[in-house]
């Protein structure tokens, strides 16, 4: 059983090595996106070379004795030196000792930056924290050093990048020094966690890092993870200790080698001195002898004096030779000692090699452990998750993607616009996981999106069938260079059950249903989830009402901070409880009501930076005009700070219950909450929603009271007859902007009465005739995948006629090079609906060309034959026969 103090220590280890190192790597990649190129810049390489083999540091040229010789103290005089003594003085001063600065990089780190075999690509993934900090301190762009330096813990108020890096470095050393004890008191844990969290968010404030931080704090440390973290900490500590020992030994070797070189230089200098002195002495002796011979002839009386002079010179020579020999003996003794010491160190190189081998072995064990963990994670991730709204589909695939990223170094690619995203971003040389949320629609199946996936299904199969080959290669005990790409898909249960959806094998051959008996939440899992949000006394009170509840995870999240009675009502009648709470907000707090409306209308996220004074005064675009208009509905003046602060407080209060905050952007916490809040708020502010809601919202969330009998369970905003004209005006406004989905894909088109009213309105409006004619002749460039529609260079051409034919409403009569007849033929093979046959008849009556080929070379008749629709084939063949008879 792990104690609280041990859990504290292991959690800090997990935070530092799993989250902090990743944040620092992301920060480093922003400064050095092309690390190999930066390392090979001559100036940068010279800087690192100096850290690996530091340049000599200057020492004194003259020492005290030499200085006193040149400038004697008071009372002494400078004696004239002979050529021999002058030579000695010069030689001693020039053979000064030279020392070097302390080495920063050792051999292993240098080989990491510049691998020995030759030029290879080096990335931040190859570097540890110590080496990353070293590069940030020494090669441009440099990170500013904090006031306390990189090696000390900076004060809490210092939030600079340099201070954040110093914190990570300091606590890395702290963890190594405390690894033997392996415990951490609660007070120290809270302080260290806070400082590390500050440093991590300061260096990398991405959503992924924020999610990793949250996960690190709440992650359950089971026995396997505790064992893994402990093993990792022990290995890191041993490697760190070995690296320090290698540095220490390397410095001693460098010092001894340098001393050997210096002693060798001294010996060579002394030999040179001796030769110079002997030559000088021989010259003086020869001169003296010549002088004696010459003077002996002239001065017999001075013979004795000359003899004495010669004898004296001989004695001086002998004395000098003895002194030199004695000095050489002493030097030789010193040299012998140093040679023995160097030989001993060289003989110990085997020990150094053994230490290095131990370090390499430990690193290999650590890599093996990581690979085993990766394999366990990779083998337990299903590709397709389905279930009802609120049951945890999105959370599961997002969590799986994060596991693949953190444990297996996969790159996460969110698929926003459909299979084209996969085609554009797929890289066979990278480990990638593609995430598709709520594929093919939420409330109803989106046929255009379904057809797009079908068009790309063969290409998708080719990309993702690599996964099957990879499994086969593992069974054959072979390893591929790059892991296969992954496709993680979530789908609502009613969409999955559609017959058209079932025909796409890519989505159905491997899936898991979160509502199935095998995968539904167990009692223990439900209790564990409840304990995340509620205290024990409330849980005991509601146990009986939580057994058969839909969207259980969502209700747990909504129950946070509620009373026992409120939680009981929420689980007993969730829809009634949520709607009642939203109505209470509408009636009691206009700031919170306004916050809900803003997050519904700005469904791609409401940024609270828009509420800053500068933004309010300078806004002149459509998005911010919406904001001011909506704020006026609630008597909120955005030019006044008090009003802005009250609105911000409304957002903050709803955070975690109905809203979620990501960075500075607020969104609705869940699609189900979005739908309920949208209907309730829209019923109170109908005019506002008709004018400013997105086109997709207009398409899906309104119903005319005059069209059909409306039930409470329909979850639609009901419009009275007086409001119908405003609604049609909004549709026309969208058409003028080339936005056609709100009109020709409208939910209410299923009702004949609505179609009649729409046709009547369009006929009344001259502007509508102009717009529709222009759209039908020029076409509309849009991307349509799922609920997204926007202008783009990569587009589909479509027209109102094509859209009407596609949906099968011939009385109003996404294609890629298809005519209306092609569109009807394609969608008829999925739905086999009678209205498509009527649409074909109407198009043929207007002389639609049956022989026209699309970009794939297919005619409508080819498509009808391929789908085996006898009615369509008969219609097209009769039309062809009629044309042939007319020609004859």
State the pLDDT at residue 317: 67
Q: Which H or E element spans position 583?
A: helix 574-588
Phi, psi angle pair for 701, to nearest 5°:
-120, 15
DSSP H helices in 832-868: 834-845, 860-866
Residue with tokens 């007070």: 187
Which residues of the chain, if any, have pLDDT below 50? 77-100, 369, 373, 376-377, 379-382, 466-482, 783-795, 814-816, 830-831
β-strand pairing of 702-704 with 780-785 = unpaired
DSSP code at position 297:
H
Q: How much is the pLDDT for 596?
A: 92
Q: What is the tens place of the pLDDT at every residue in 28-37? A: 888 888 888 8
Q: Write the pLDDT tens digit of every residue in 643-660.
A: 889 999 999 988 878 888
Helices (H), 655-751: 671-684, 686-692, 695-700, 721-736, 741-744
φ/ψ (deg, to 5) at 407? -95, -30
**CB within 8 A of 824, min separation 6: which ones?**
805, 806, 808, 836, 839, 840, 843, 860
Compute the distance between CA of residue 689 and CA of residue 682 in angstroms, rounded to an integer: 6
Neighbour-count burial for 364-391, b at 16+ CB within 10 Å, e otherwise:
eebeeeeeeebeeebeebebbbbbbbbb
What is the rounded CA–CA span in Å between residue 318 and residue 338?
30
Residue 878's SS3 state is: helix
Q: What digits encode the pLDDT tens for the residues 492-528?
A: 877 777 777 777 777 776 677 777 777 777 777 778 8
Q: Give the C-alpha separation, 463 to 458, whole Å.
A: 9
Give the per-residue pLDDT at 799. 62
pLDDT in the model for residue 829: 52
Question: In this predicted model, what pLDDT tens digit does every residue of 195-218 receive, in sequence order?
Answer: 888 888 988 888 888 888 888 888
Check residue 553 and give its pLDDT.
79
The answer to whether the pTM exceeds 0.75 is no
For the stretch 505-512, contacts whose Cβ atoms lie closer than 8 Å and that sit 24 or more positions apart, written own/partner, are: 505/457, 505/461, 506/453, 506/457, 506/460, 506/461, 506/464, 507/384, 507/439, 507/453, 508/384, 510/382, 510/383, 510/384, 511/382, 511/383, 511/384, 511/385, 511/386, 512/382, 512/384, 512/385, 512/386
Which pair of tokens denotes residue 4?
């609280």
Pairing of strands 486-492, 99-100: unpaired
Distance CA 104, CA 251 (A): 11
The pLDDT value given to residue 776 = 61
Measured distance CA(530)–CA(548) in Å, rounded: 14
**Residue 408 has which token pair?**
């297996």
Provide the 3-class DSSP secondary structure of residue 5.
helix
Whether the CB-CB separation of 456 and 439 falls below 8 Å is answered with: no
Instruction: For residue 1, give the 3-state DSSP assignment.
Output: coil
Instruction: Give the tokens for residue 199.
Output: 């440093």
């Amino acid at each position: 059983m792990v104690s609280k103090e041990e859990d504290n220590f292991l959690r800090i280890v997990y935070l530092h090595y799993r989250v902090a190192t990743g944040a620092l790597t992301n920060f480093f990649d922003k400064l050095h996106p092309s690390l190999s190129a930066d390392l090979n810049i001559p100036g940068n390489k010279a800087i690192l070379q100096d850290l690996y083999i530091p340049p000599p540091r200057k020492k004194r040229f003259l020492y005290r004795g030499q200085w006193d010789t040149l400038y004697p103290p008071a009372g002494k005089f400078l004696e004239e030196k002979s050529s021999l003594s002058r030579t000695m003085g010069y030689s001693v001063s020039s053979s000064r000792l030279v020392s070097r600065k302390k080495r920063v990089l050792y051999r292993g780190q240098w080989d990491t930056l510049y691998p020995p075999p030759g030029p290879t690509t080096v990335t931040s993934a190859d570097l540890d924290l110590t080496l990353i900090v070293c590069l940030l301190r020494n090669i441009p762009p440099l990170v500013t050093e904090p006031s306390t330096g990189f090696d000390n813990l900076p004060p809490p108020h210092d939030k600079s990048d340099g201070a954040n890096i110093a914190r990570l470095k300091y606590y890395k050393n702290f963890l190594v020094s405390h690894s033997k004890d392996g415990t951490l008191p609660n007070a120290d844990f809270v302080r260290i966690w806070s400082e590390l969290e500050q440093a991590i968010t300061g260096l990398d404030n991405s959503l992924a890092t924020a999610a990793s931080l949250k996960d690190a704090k709440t992650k359950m440390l089971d026995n396997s993870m505790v064992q893994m973290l402990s093993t990792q900490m022990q290995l890191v500590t041993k490697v760190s200790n070995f690296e320090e020992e290698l540095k220490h030994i390397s410095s001693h070797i460098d010092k001894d080698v340098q001393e050997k070189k210096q002693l060798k230089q001294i010996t060579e200098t002394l030999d040179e001195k001796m030769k110079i002195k002997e030559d000088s002495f021989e010259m003086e002796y020869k001169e003296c002898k010549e002088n004696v011979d010459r003077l002996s002839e002239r001065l017999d009386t001075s013979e004795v004096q000359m003899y004495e002079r010669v004898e004296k010179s001989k004695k001086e020579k002998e004395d000098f030779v003895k002194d030199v020999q004695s000095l050489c003996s002493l030097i030789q003794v010193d040299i012998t000692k140093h040679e023995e010491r160097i030989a001993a160190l060289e003989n110990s190189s085997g020990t150094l090699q053994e230490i290095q081998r131990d370090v390499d072995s430990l690193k290999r064990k650590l890599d093996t452990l990581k690979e085993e963990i990766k394999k366990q994670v990779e083998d337990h991730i299903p590709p397709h998750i389905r279930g009802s709204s609120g049951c945890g589909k999105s959370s599961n695939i997002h969590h799986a993607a994060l596991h693949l990223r953190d444990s297996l170094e996969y790159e996460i690619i969110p698929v926003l616009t459909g299979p084209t995203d996969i085609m554009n971003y797929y890289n066979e040389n990278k480990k990638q996981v593609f995430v598709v949320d709520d594929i093919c629609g939420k409330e109803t199946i989106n046929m255009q999106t379904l057809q797009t996936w079908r068009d790309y299904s063969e290409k998708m199969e080719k990309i993702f069938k690599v996964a099957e080959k990879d499994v086969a290669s593992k069974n054959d005990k072979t390893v591929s260079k790059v892991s296969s790409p992954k496709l993680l898909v979530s789908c609502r249960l009613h969409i999955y059950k559609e017959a058209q959806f079932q025909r796409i094998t890519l989505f159905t051959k491997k899936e898991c249903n979160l509502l199935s008996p095998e995968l539904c939440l167990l009692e223990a899992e439900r209790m564990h989830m409840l304990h995340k949000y509620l205290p024990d006394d409330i849980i005991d009170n509601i146990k009986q009402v939580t057994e058969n509840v839909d969207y259980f995870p969502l209700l747990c999240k909504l129950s946070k901070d509620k009373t026992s009675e409120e939680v009981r009502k929420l689980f007993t009648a969730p829809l009634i409880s949520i709607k009642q709470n939203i109505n209470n907000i509408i009636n009691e707090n206009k700031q919170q009501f306004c916050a809900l409306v803003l997050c519904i209308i700005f469904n791609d996220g409401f940024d609270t930076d828009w509420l800053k004074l500068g933004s309010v005064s300078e806004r002149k675009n459509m998005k911010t005009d919406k904001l001011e208009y909506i704020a006026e509905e609630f008597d909120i003046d955005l030019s006044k700070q008090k009003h802005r602060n009250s609105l911000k407080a409304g957002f903050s209060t709803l955070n975690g219950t109905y809203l979620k905050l990501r960075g500075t952007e607020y969104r609705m916490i869940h699609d189900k909450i979005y739908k309920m809040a949208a209907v309730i708020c829209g019923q109170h502010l109908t005019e506002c929603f008709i004018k400013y809601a997105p086109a997709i919202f207009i398409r899906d969330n309104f119903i005319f009271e005059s069209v059909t009998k409306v039930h409470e369970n329909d979850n639609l905003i009901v419009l009275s007859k007086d409001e119908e004209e405003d609604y049609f005006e909004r549709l026309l406004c969208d058409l003028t902007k080339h936005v056609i989905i709100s009109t020709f894909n409208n939910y209410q088109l299923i009702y004949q009465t609505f179609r009649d009213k729409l046709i009547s309105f369009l006929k009344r409006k001259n502007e509508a005739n102009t717009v529709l004619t222009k759209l039908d002749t020029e076409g509309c460039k849009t991307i349509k995948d799922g609920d997204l529609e926007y202008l783009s260079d990569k587009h589909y051409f479509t027209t109102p006629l094509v859209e009407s034919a596609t949906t099968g409403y011939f009385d109003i009569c996404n294609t890629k090079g298809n005519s209306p007849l092609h569109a009807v033929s394609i969608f008829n093979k999925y739905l086999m609906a009678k209205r498509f046959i009527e649409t074909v008849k109407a198009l043929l009556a207007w002389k639609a060309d049956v022989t026209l080929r699309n970009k794939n070379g297919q005619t409508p008749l080819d498509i009808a034959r391929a789908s085996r629709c006898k009615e369509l084939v008969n219609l097209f063949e009769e039309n062809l026969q009629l044309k042939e008879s007319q020609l004859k």
